[in-house]
Structure 1
């Protein structure tokens, strides 16, 4: 199969899976009564975001990719608390395969728990409830399989692709409503917000701090190996979860005693709290993303060293110092990027939807940029592999 045919096949697989996914989000589940949600219920918007409006219409794929998004954090928490997953994580590739199997089972279990909760809330009869639970659980398992098909045979990460598809399905109705109420001012502000977030996201995703590394020369026979300069790239891990968590906390002021002023949607303090929470969550998430001690040990094992830094513990301390600065700067940048849609929507006076409308817009833009970058990288990787394939035979 030539290069163009392989790329065409991957594109068709990705589009076909998205079509099946959206069809499953339009097919109503049996024995469930749909109730009209409250128009300005805050949590409704975040649920629409992560389920594609599934919990409002209750289709077969009612939960969208929500179980697939929730399973990895739950499994990471179990890895810290339970010895067995922690031991599997230390076993390398074999343990990773077992953990992947646990992750799949956990997705199905989360889908089952969600289905039971939905059926209990809707209150059908026992037989109808059992059929609805089975249908919704099977839908969650099928969505998991669709994400794996995209990851293995299509372009990009399957969960991110389907999440982007369901968010894009929810957002146009909100943008149309915004245009009807605010006119061309909404188009101008949204264009400025889109351009700003896109540029900052691309710069943020491509930026890296390169720590120079050198490797000692080794003589093997009559040839010298090593001695060439290299570098360790440090990046800030991007994610939308800090903005989502911050939006949930800001929208629940009733649980915070003594902070009733957070109920005022137009209060600038509410936006300030949102910005601080995004920075804190982004910092906490990135702070545990890389083990500098392991990097320092690997450098010693391979004969590498950072110029001017002693190998071992001093190298680990220096790398940790560099990483902390990058994490702090990246957390502030994450807060700024999350604040742009909030400020733009504030200028349009849509504060009753803050911060969920801002989070929805942010997630769409960031996912669109990241999915595009991942797809371009994957296409370039496939082209390079095809180009060098004759030399590897």
Structure 2
């Protein structure tokens, strides 16, 4: 990857794209330092420090925002609304015929879907901004404002705070589009990558602070954590590049004096084709009970709701088990929605191709379905291990690295995808073509 970046830097066109991407990321990080008015940053820091292990939805949003959410800055919502909107529209594309037709209309259809996604993200940002504001009121995160008996000041404060959050989310989407047009890689993914990477030095300094305490426990655990994270990076890279290659053979056709077809090729099926989406789905579902507590307050001890919240805490074994099962279920759901074995079998038959030893038609689609089921299970278990292992490690060591696995998965996936994009652009640039 370092060699790919070095070679890309030597190409003037790619160097301009890299510098432009870096410039947009700098603007995004500056926006993450702009405070939202009427908010008490000290109270917010205290609240997040005490609730970061609770497993609520805001902890997940804090990861997506690169720490901006816990500081309640202009970029607090960051890429969260747009990612959620993309997931919703992508799933609805397979469920609603009008959206499915748009997805098959080429470039114009994709532009229309992109507009729908942005409007959906705007609606989600409004809701999340309002929910964050209500939560800040419950935890005394707002600065004291002396009201004169009229509700105008209270509503004005609420509108200003919510609009600041929505403006930051809209600016994030706009910056991501600029990277898509003039930079390298997927814009939203690059901003998400930059936000997570920006928290890296803070995490490393936190580990060194633990070692400075001089406790024998910390002196042993910190090197173990570093080794574990390095092994996780290697494991994620291996699984991201892993694929099952199904051999395909095309029949020979003779037209006049020329022979067409007859070549052998393969269809690659990636092991982790769904990426981090199943983890996001499962994390959103698991965070519902703890998030509701932020709106309803602490329940009375001994009630059913109090027991339910206890079961959905990070430290409870039920949380880890259900989280693992949901990741597997959502992975199967996403793959079934985005991968159609019947369509692949029909395309092969129309192009006089087939799997050696398998008859065309339904036997071929059944064969693809069987292979896909095995691969999906392997990919789901891989995602489950990445998501569950840091939680188990956190419970054992009492050190907060519960979100580390998801963050590493996002960072490595975006880095690999960006490296592949640079390699493909360099290959196209150096390809001489058939005229030379």
Calculate the TM-score normalised by the size of structure 2.
0.78
Query: Could you list the per-position Cα deviations for residues 297-333 of structure 1 after superposition, in whole angstroms to 9, with x for gaps in the alignment?
Result: 1111212111111112221111111111111122122
The size of the alignment, in residue pairs, is: 387
Structure-2 residue corresponding to 1:218: 253
Q: Secondary structure at the match of 2:356?
A: coil
Q: Which residue number corresponds to residue 85 of structure 2?
A: 71
| 8 Å CA contact 1:212, 1:229 repeated in 2 | yes
* 1:223 positional shift: 1.9
Match of 1:45 in 2: 59
**Maintained 8 Å contact 1:179/1:186:** no
Give the C-alpha shift of residue 272 in structure 1.
3.7
- Secondary structure of the equivalent of 2:77? coil
Distance, in Å, in 2 between the alignment partners of 1:304 and 1:83 is 29
Counterparts in 2 of 1:379 and 1:90: CA distance versus 1, 3 Å: closer
Separation of aligned partners in 1, 2:71 and 2:309: 33
Partner of 2:242: 207
Conserved 8 A contact 2:36-2:72: yes
What are the Cα deviations for residues 79-108 of structure 1, in whole angstroms up to 9, with x where unaligned? 356543233234344322211121122222
The match for 1:289 among 338, 350, 370 is 338
Closer, same or farther: CA 83–131 of 1 in aligned 2, 3 Å:
same
| Aligned 1:281-360 pairs, distance under 5 A | 281-350=330-399, 353=400, 357-358=401-402, 360=403
Equivalent residue for 1:60, pick from 74, 85, 92: 74
| Alpha-carbon distance in 1 for matches of 2:285, 2:166 | 29
Moved more, 321-330 or 248-257: 248-257
| Matched residue, 1:94 | 108
Q: Secondary structure at the match of 1:307?
A: coil
Does the alignment pair 1:243 with 2:279? Answer: yes
Mapped partners of 1:118, 1:38: distance in 2: 13
Query: Which residue in the other structure is 1:369 paired with?
Result: 412
In the other structure, the counterpart of 2:184 is 155
Instruction: Deviation per CA, 1:239-290: give whole Å up to 9, x if none.
Output: 2243344455556677987768736755555444433333333333333230
Which segments of 5 or more consecutive residues in structure 2 lack a partner in the other structure?
A: 1-8, 143-152, 211-216, 293-303
Whether 1:108 and 2:109 are equivalent positions in the alignment is: no
Q: Is the 8 A contact 1:61 1:143 kept in 2?
A: yes
CA 265–205 in structure 1, closer or farther in 2 if over 3 Å, else same: closer
TM-score normalized with structure 1 length: 0.86
Distance 1:275 1:79 in 2: 27
Query: Is this contact kept in 2: 1:178–1:186, CA < 8 A?
Result: no
Distance in 2 (alpha carbons) for counterparts of 1:9 and 1:235: 32
Alignment of 1:128-147 (within 5 A): 128-147=157-176
Give me the whole-angstrom Cα distance separating, in 2, the residues matched to 1:82 and 1:313. 26
SS at match of 2:245: strand
Q: Supply the RMSD in Å over aligned alpha carbons.
A: 3.0
Q: Contact (CA 8 Å) 1:250, 1:262: kept in 2 or not?
A: no
Work out the CA distance in 1 between the residues paired with 2:220 and 2:317. 22
Name stretches of at least 5 consecutive residues in structure 1 with no aligned partner. none
Where in structure 2 are the equivalents of 1:156-175 lying within 5 Å? 156-170=185-199, 172-175=201-204
User: 1:247 and 1:75 mapped to 2: Cα distance?
Assistant: 19
